[in-house]
Amino acid sequence: MNTIIAKRKCCGCGACASICPKQAITMQEDKEGFLYPVIDETLCIDCQKCVKTCPQLKQEELFYPDPKFYVAHNNDEATIKRSASGGAFSALSNYVLKQQGVIYGVVLDEALNIRHSRATTALERDKMCSSKYVQSRIGDTYKLAKHDLAAGRTVLFTGTPCQIAGLKAFLGKDYPKLYLCDLICHSVPSPLIWQEYLQALGEENGQKVTYVNFRDKTKGWQRASTLKGFAYAGADGKLKEDNRFYKLFFRAQVISRLSCVTCKYARVQRVSDITIADYWGVEKYLPDWVDYYGVSFIMTSTEKGQKLLEACQQDIKFLERPPQEEITENHRLRGPMGIPEEARQKFWQEYYDKGFKYVLDKYTKD
Ligand SMILES: Cc1cc2nc3c(=O)[nH]c(=O)nc-3n(C[C@H](O)[C@H](O)[C@H](O)COP(=O)(O)OP(=O)(O)OC[C@H]3O[C@@H](n4cnc5c(N)ncnc54)[C@H](O)[C@@H]3O)c2cc1C
């Protein structure tokens, strides 16, 4: 067997590599820096487990119908400040920590690469807080989560909807102590462009970037894509702002993974027990809920998700809302971002031919 799925459809979750009984599949970077499965034909026994597990080849059975919609915010202001939205993730994960459970989520490593990680303490969990707008590497976290579940631990696994769909397909069954939590996802940018950008920032500032915050809230919680508050610092610790990565990601829309163009998870029906996001438009619908540092949107799609939310009442205030508010405001509930494919191709060609600095200048002017 030489392919699992057409490249343009592969979301890079790595469920295929995790399930392969012969370790014949490795996830390898392509020219855009995204991971894709590569099969070692000498090890492959053609068992088709990879094909049967691929969430992108599955249909409707992945989705739960009829979620409930909530506005929410954490009771602790410091928690909201360090979170992308209203601190829903911290509340949910606090509950799991109290059960001596395990949390899987996304961290920045020492080289500021973005990857999934395992946490059993609040300190480790805190590193998962806030959005990192780059596709994370799942690594061996699906296998670790399965191991934790087999050992009877409570597990909260968080990620983009396609990563959650990959985990579900990999596990192949439900576990009573497993909580799945996805984000509403705009799309995921290239890890290669992210590293190029860090390099460029470092060169411009004469010092390597050692700290980043994708959602710095010094100027509050901002909806406008290029005002989301990207802050960084080098060895001197001086915090600076720059919005050019967001111009590439949100405005030019040229650095996201190809499979995001046809994302099937950008819809109201979800693959997780619980979904977390930003409650955009809160000022219109619920002026009393406006918080300078952010407000969360939560969807519960299963009884388990509902019970988890209710178990967090000590940490988070929430109120059920009519679905139409966020279906109107949160675009990724209505379909994938309209990535102009030709523009995307042009960008990558210019990057290969003329280098990162050229495309950074060209696509982020004004
Ligand atoms: C790539 C991306 C696109 C998003 N697009 C939208 C959108 O279109 N609309 C919207 O309302 N919200 C979007 N969000 C979600 C939003 O930014 C917040 O992450 C979410 O509201 C949770 O915030 P919080 O305050 O509850 O907790 P936080 O502390 O901010 O939650 C952090 C959570 O996000 C997870 N996470 C962080 N980075 C990544 C990543 N790269 N990949 C997978 N999981 C990650 C962590 O594991 C943790 O579970 C997006 C997030 C990401 C990472």
pLDDT digits (tens, 9 = 90+) for 244-302: 999 999 999 999 999 999 999 999 999 999 999 999 999 999 999 999 999 999 999 99
- Domain assignment of residue 33, yes or no: yes
Q: Mean pLDDT for the chain?
A: 96
The answer to whether residues 126 and 18 belong to one domain is no
Domain with 217 in it: 191-255+336-364
State residue 59's pLDDT score: 77
Inter-residue contact 138 to 238 (CB < 8 Å): no
Phi-psi domain of 342 (left: phi exceeds 0; alpha: psi -120 through 50; beta: other): alpha
Judge if the beta carbon of residue 162 lies within 6 A of ligand 1: no
Beta bridge partners of 68: 300
The answer to whether residues 245 and 262 belong to one domain is no
pLDDT above 90: percentage of residues in the chain: 93
The answer to whether residues 15 and 155 belong to one domain is no
* 181 CA: nearest ligand 1 atom: 49
Mean pLDDT over 191-207 rounds to: 97
- Domain assignment of residue 306, yes or no: yes
Q: What is the rounded distance in angstroms from the CA atom of residue 227 to the CA atom of residue 23?
A: 44
* Residue having the nearest C-alpha atom to atom 50 of ligand 1: 185
Cα torsion 220, 106, 312, 274: sign: positive
Q: Enter the pTM of the model.
A: 0.97
Judge if the beta carbon of residue 246 lies within 6 A of ligand 1: no
- Give the chain's domain count: 3
- Domain assignment of residue 2, yes or no: no
Tens of pLDDT along 46-100? 999 999 999 999 877 789 999 999 999 999 999 999 999 999 999 999 999 999 9
Inter-residue contact 138 to 17 (CB < 8 Å): no
Judge if the beta carbon of residue 360 lies within 6 A of ligand 1: no
Judge if the beta carbon of residue 138 lies within 6 A of ligand 1: no
- Domain assignment of residue 1, yes or no: no
The answer to whether residues 41 and 115 belong to one domain is no
State residue 1's pLDDT score: 67
The answer to whether residues 171 and 299 belong to one domain is yes
Ligand 1 pocket: which of 89, 131, 187, 333 to mutate (most atoms <8 Å of CB)? 131
Query: What's the gap in Å between 349 CA and the centre of ligand 1?
Result: 30
State residue 227's pLDDT score: 72
Judge if the beta carbon of residue 259 lies within 6 A of ligand 1: no
